[in-house]
Structure 1
């Protein structure tokens, strides 16, 4: 079409913000004639104005310069990549237009002869130039298809005639060129990584190569060099991410608000955590009464200059005089227990090392506590705790007397015949029993033993010089269900269990008749019984999960009958703080748009008095700017998958929005609504639609939901997540090249599997600390405990489950397996050097594999979207990370997302 400067301005007024290209099957191009009679100088000026106004990025694809821009055409908002051989001499510019699949019906309209005939007369008035072209290396044959009018109107814009764009079909004949290019302005040079093709393992007759097994040794110099080069590469990419600085600044500003946890009472004191805003770690405070002045009891920020030493767990003695606390360094699961006197803040000499996966439970005589640990490393094997990869075996339960050396601790329980078992000890509220919880994996099942401390001759002191274990009695001695003690009156115990109740129930048993169990609160038909807390004598506060939304009730401990419904908004109960002697209970609540409320609930009145004790206020956050809804998506097998959607209020579903889809789907863990500063920022300033898909494998609908996404049915997790993504596209929230997926740990596995299975569906992927090598995960640290959810490659049947979806073993060049030119989405794999839960080797091996298969193994790779790794130092699996590290990581990953999706900052 012929353009003047005036019509150019009007034309640009119709253009939406720049959007990314789509790897889709419908490809079109059109031509724009330069100014007639204007000469090359005028044409160059016009083009420069066009490029500047549309914020076009200059890219390079081989030897051909390309430009990217976004235009609005009629009811459509689409992106173009224009290839320009010579801006100054070309008679016309050739653009390539891609329609998403849900616009296929609109595309087919262009083929309708009636539509074409109706537009022929109008087309005669427009200067149209046709030509065959080679666009982005795609050899194409131009065929006239029709005229698509631009008919949108706006106030204050006067158009003398309708602008029109001529489309013609591009037949793709060159498979090694993608229909989208990376948004980066730099050419990435991936560091070479040695491949050892001699490493081949036989899995039940199937030969599997493992060329990057050398990356499993964290102490090897070659591994350290690989990591350093990857860090350098990632830094070069992040420097190109325009929103990085603004994200860091804005997240920091919004993060700078006071935060509190619910208080808990011991003896005559109240304890609670508080952070003024940007302190690296939360500080533990103590006060004599709720109205009294609070004093700092323990400030972990003084343990390290960079804030990387954190509190992992703590327990206050029954008399309130001692605090036992466990410190973690650099985010490792390894902790060291210390003891502090609450009156004068003096730290006792007690130091307990090699503690992992442990609680701390005091005996009521205040002489000491139970804890769990692993054997110390053998002489010469001492390493930087948290960087080692050897399996965690032979968990032991110990009792520590105050004022003694760890070597004198009482060994209470061990099981050398079952080295993978883990043990946890908890003293009952009446102080009479120590309960021993035994687990083999992560399934919600456990054995349960008990020991009556009051009937031990000479008490625990009698075991100080002996070699015998505590005389535990076996109440439940199989792994067929989960049993969590809620309360006891002498020998009568109440348990929360999933025994014959996948949505959980409350049962009661008398230790004098251990085979007779009775239901106290029966299983709900629909809702999942999440928790029960005995308070105020014989009352319970129970929480249910109903379609991933919390319900809170007061019930009778003896009968299970409903006493009161406690009013809460749609969201999550984060904590219930209270014990049987407490008539006043504290309840923590959060939601997508509620930073946090701590309710004070007085159960001593006829009707519970529930009032706000503390409310977390985030300056600058206005919940009225946003909207939250929950949709239910039909999965591949018609299962209904809940999806939460958080967006700006009054969003228009035109497919133009960037979208972040988060998922987990494993280990019976429910992902419920919660407040996130960083996601509020990207929703407000990047226009992101944030979504959570509550896929199978989690605990959102009980144990049946969990089992439907584990072991042989693990593929259901990926199918559910993909269905959620397709739903967000089909309903107009986004389009594939605007869609980013994110997950951590088991959710990192989810992301890794989904980009392998549907690389065409996503524009960006963020995989945190993921389990990526499904054939060897069980060999490292606590990985053997995950076989309950995944299976184990040592078993032939389970090997065949795992090899089908293992992210490491299913990286393929998608352009070789489809008739479309598809590449992997821009991908960031995140890990940390002290992650001893999901060790970094998972991420490193997948990173090397993806870069080799998709990029460096080809002389000219079609993979333009970057594959990078963010490897943090002095960090672990996530817990205990200081505030600044959380802010920095959020700014890095979301600025990468913004750059890859071509999203621009909104003030």
Structure 2
């Protein structure tokens, strides 16, 4: 990655000077094809661009320079692209606040004044008065590419631990601040991924999870990550002196997340295995150091909510695919003794927490939020009167708090902060932003359509009022479909800009997500992954049949696992789309498990190393199903510091599609510098990305961007 990163930084200074004279006739850069064919379980598999996996090679760096110049020049040549950026910027420029959190005598929240690269952490008094900057990540780097990746505040509100990430990498470094004085401590914790920091009861140290430092000469951006360990760090000491609290040298793919129990007697340890939504649960008695494997089997999700003495509360899908809440007595932990407090219902539990000694449970009712309050005895006490049909996240409150805060939004309503008071059982607006548009001018409607196998699938379609359903509207179909992740309504100012351009924004809730519980998830994983793709194609066909749009005005866009979906859409149903945009996608389904954290996804996808799973992976792997034919316009999107889905996925796929394209539609790569999988990306970079997505789609729909977007 060293050659690549250096070359891309240099290119960012000169690449903008290149442009197409005639972009429609310009040829994509040549990519050397290797004569590499290897047998996998008796099948001969070609991999002509294997050399692009060597991200440190000068040949890869040269390829990236040429591809980036080609893609950037194509995008820069689209007329009036700046009008898209101007409207997105105008919409993006509003004050954004997080839900506040109370710790000790302080209230903490994030604020972004509009266009700041990164949001700023503030501290105020208990009532939210006299806010002052506690930590401003915009000072971490000159270009905003060093991001705040995690924050943990001690229970007394006196100490801050925070993680930073460079250029979008998953690697984090954690540091500490004395909140009262604002002075940083000298302590630094390194080689941390996928971990927060859990404070001890006295605020004198933290538990965290880390990996061993990469071997000498190994590329930290590509090397596989195994054997995560739990450590305790005492403030004022060097990381080399940290105490190893728990590890499993016999289980290289186990991951650990530690937190202190409510009374400070136990360390609760959630044991994950890759991205499997199921987990084991252990706890350690801090007085003795004895570790008890309370839930030793990987059979269900066990989300620790809190405890009262030796009674532990969990949200689980054990014998309840849509979720329930149980109590487990540590003295009688057998399943036969588990007490069900909040039973499974028709709606899926999206989140659960304990606030004011009550369970606050957020449900998905056909994807839309419903929030209920229960006593610790499981008796229902209230259903919140939400501001509308949308999404609830960020529920923030402690065991003793008399209120909690939460975020509410939808595709057409900006994210606002709301407060629920237990005494009055009412929801009140805490902070609702003012954005440069009128939500009443837009419509967001939920529909249901039928997939290939008869499954009923929901989709939310959003657009500006007055739009005519004449079958000719530019449409962006965004989806994900995997890893037990629900696509609930979420506001983006960029999506409003798309609607202002006359576009439709549609989001189907495909199988593979968690919208309808674990059965919905399992319906789109491993050998059933084709269901996800079929759900997506059925969404496109519904939009065409119902006269929203046509195939010549349909754009397909998805990120990460959604990038895999885009690769499948391009290779399986290119007839449905005028343009396809796979972003940071998993596109080589035979080798993803060999890089960084890719092995963790085998619980979702399966692995080509397994002879039984190899056939279905080969059958849909986007890279291996590119054929010589006409393809729609394609923009493959990736970044030089993506150490989650390494950029070689996108490099190899872009090269193969360019080689096999027989049509006239462009196939370009959009490669970002000093960026990663997406987290922590500075505001200007995010706006520029949406600008290019919309400009690419609009141009390849055969439309001309207006000089100004209203």
Asked if these proteins are the same fold (TM beyond 0.5), I'd say yes
Question: Quick one: structure 1 residues 653 and 563, their matched pair in 2 at CA, closer, same or farther if it must change by over 3 Å?
Answer: closer
1:520 is aligned to 2:334: no
| 8 Å Cα contact 1:286/1:294 also seen in 2 | yes
Q: Output aligned runs, 1:169-208, within 5 Å.
A: 186-197=24-35, 199-208=36-45
| 8 Å Cα contact 2:474/2:701 also seen in 1 | yes
Alpha-carbon distance between aligned partners in 2 of 1:475 and 1:208, rounded to the nearest angstrom: 45
Question: Quick one: structure 1 residues 380 and 767, their matched pair in 2 at CA, closer, same or farther if it must change by over 3 Å?
Answer: closer
State the TM-score, normalizing by the size of structure 1: 0.75
| 8 Å Cα contact 1:398/1:412 also seen in 2 | yes
1:488 is aligned to 2:307: yes
User: What residue number does 2:109 align with?
Assistant: 272
User: What residue number does 2:703 align with?
Assistant: 903
| 8 Å Cα contact 2:168/2:677 also seen in 1 | yes
Q: Output aligned runs, 1:152-551, within 5 Å.
A: 186-197=24-35, 199-381=36-218, 388-453=221-286, 455-456=287-288, 470-515=289-334, 516-524=337-345, 526-537=346-357, 539-551=358-370
Alpha-carbon distance between aligned partners in 1 of 2:245 and 2:22, rounded to the nearest angstrom: 59
Secondary structure of the residue that 2:496 maps to in structure 1? helix
User: What residue number does 1:731 align with?
Assistant: 546
Secondary structure of the residue that 1:514 maps to in structure 2? coil
Shift of 1:563: 3.4
User: What residue number does 1:694 align with?
Assistant: 509
Q: Among 682, 687, 705, which residue is 2:498 paired with?
A: 682
1:772 is aligned to 2:582: no
| 8 Å Cα contact 1:495/1:508 also seen in 2 | yes
Q: Among 399, 413, 423, which residue is 1:594 paired with?
A: 413
Deviations 1:119-142 (A, max 9, x none): xxxxxxxxxxxxxxxxxxxxxxxx
| 8 Å Cα contact 2:579/2:697 also seen in 1 | yes
| 8 Å Cα contact 1:666/1:746 also seen in 2 | yes
Alpha-carbon distance between aligned partners in 1 of 2:212 and 2:570, rounded to the nearest angstrom: 40
| 8 Å Cα contact 2:23/2:74 also seen in 1 | no
Figure out how many residues of one structure are paired with residues of the other and give that number. Answer: 686
1:552 is aligned to 2:371: yes
Secondary structure of the residue that 1:576 maps to in structure 2? strand
| 8 Å Cα contact 2:385/2:426 also seen in 1 | no
Alpha-carbon distance between aligned partners in 2 of 1:370 and 1:613, rounded to the nearest angstrom: 33
Alpha-carbon distance between aligned partners in 2 of 1:521 and 1:287, rounded to the nearest angstrom: 36
Alpha-carbon distance between aligned partners in 2 of 1:255 and 1:203, rounded to the nearest angstrom: 49
Shift of 1:518: 1.7
Shift of 1:380: 4.1
Secondary structure of the residue that 2:344 maps to in structure 1? coil
Shift of 1:617: 1.4
Question: Quick one: structure 1 residues 209 and 297, their matched pair in 2 at CA, closer, same or farther if it must change by over 3 Å?
Answer: same
Shift of 1:413: 1.2
| 8 Å Cα contact 1:396/1:423 also seen in 2 | yes
State the TM-score, normalizing by the size of structure 2: 0.95
User: What residue number does 2:681 align with?
Assistant: 881
Choose between structure 1 and 2 for higher RCO, CA contacts under 8 A separated by at least 6 residues: 2
User: What residue number does 2:691 align with?
Assistant: 891
Alpha-carbon distance between aligned partners in 1 of 2:135 and 2:413, rounded to the nearest angstrom: 28
Alpha-carbon distance between aligned partners in 1 of 2:216 and 2:654, rounded to the nearest angstrom: 34
1:853 is aligned to 2:660: yes
| 8 Å Cα contact 1:555/1:564 also seen in 2 | no
| 8 Å Cα contact 1:368/1:399 also seen in 2 | yes
Alpha-carbon distance between aligned partners in 1 of 2:51 and 2:241, rounded to the nearest angstrom: 41
Shift of 1:494: 1.1
Alpha-carbon distance between aligned partners in 2 of 1:403 and 1:185, rounded to the nearest angstrom: 59
Shift of 1:777: 0.4
Deviations 1:142-168 (A, max 9, x none): xxxxxxxxxxxxxxxxxxxxxxxxxxx
Secondary structure of the residue that 1:379 maps to in structure 2? coil
| 8 Å Cα contact 1:551/1:568 also seen in 2 | no
Secondary structure of the residue that 1:797 maps to in structure 2? coil
Alpha-carbon distance between aligned partners in 2 of 1:556 and 1:568, rounded to the nearest angstrom: 24
User: What residue number does 1:795 align with?
Assistant: 610
Deviations 1:206-263 (A, max 9, x none): 0101111110011110000000000110122112212411111111111111100000
User: What residue number does 2:429 align with?
Assistant: 612
1:824 is aligned to 2:624: no
Alpha-carbon distance between aligned partners in 2 of 1:560 and 1:441, rounded to the nearest angstrom: 35
Gaps (5+ residues) in structure 2?
Answer: 1-20
Gaps (5+ residues) in structure 1?
Answer: 1-182, 457-469, 815-822, 855-861
Alpha-carbon distance between aligned partners in 2 of 1:549 and 1:627, rounded to the nearest angstrom: 15
Shift of 1:536: 1.0
Alpha-carbon distance between aligned partners in 1 of 2:552 and 2:386, rounded to the nearest angstrom: 42
Alpha-carbon distance between aligned partners in 2 of 1:627 and 1:613, rounded to the nearest angstrom: 25
Alpha-carbon distance between aligned partners in 2 of 1:837 and 1:793, rounded to the nearest angstrom: 19
Deviations 1:349-382 (A, max 9, x none): 100111111011001121101001110123344x
User: What residue number does 1:161 align with?
Assistant: none
Question: Quick one: structure 1 residues 248 and 563, their matched pair in 2 at CA, closer, same or farther if it must change by over 3 Å?
Answer: closer
> Which protein shows a greater Rg?
1
Alpha-carbon distance between aligned partners in 1 of 2:616 and 2:402, rounded to the nearest angstrom: 51
Alpha-carbon distance between aligned partners in 1 of 2:231 and 2:379, rounded to the nearest angstrom: 35
Q: Among 820, 824, 839, which residue is 2:646 paired with?
A: 839
| 8 Å Cα contact 2:148/2:162 also seen in 1 | yes
Shift of 1:557: 1.6
User: What residue number does 2:7 align with?
Assistant: none
Alpha-carbon distance between aligned partners in 1 of 2:301 and 2:385, rounded to the nearest angstrom: 27
| 8 Å Cα contact 2:384/2:426 also seen in 1 | no
Question: Quick one: structure 1 residues 830 and 246, their matched pair in 2 at CA, closer, same or farther if it must change by over 3 Å?
Answer: same
Alpha-carbon distance between aligned partners in 2 of 1:562 and 1:410, rounded to the nearest angstrom: 44
Structure 1 stretch displaced more, 710-719 or 240-249: 240-249
Alpha-carbon distance between aligned partners in 2 of 1:267 and 1:813, rounded to the nearest angstrom: 64
Q: Among 559, 567, 586, which residue is 2:386 paired with?
A: 567
Deviations 1:52-78 (A, max 9, x none): xxxxxxxxxxxxxxxxxxxxxxxxxxx
RMSD, matched Cα = 1.4
Q: Among 469, 472, 479, which residue is 1:663 paired with?
A: 479
Secondary structure of the residue that 1:796 maps to in structure 2? coil
Shift of 1:723: 0.4
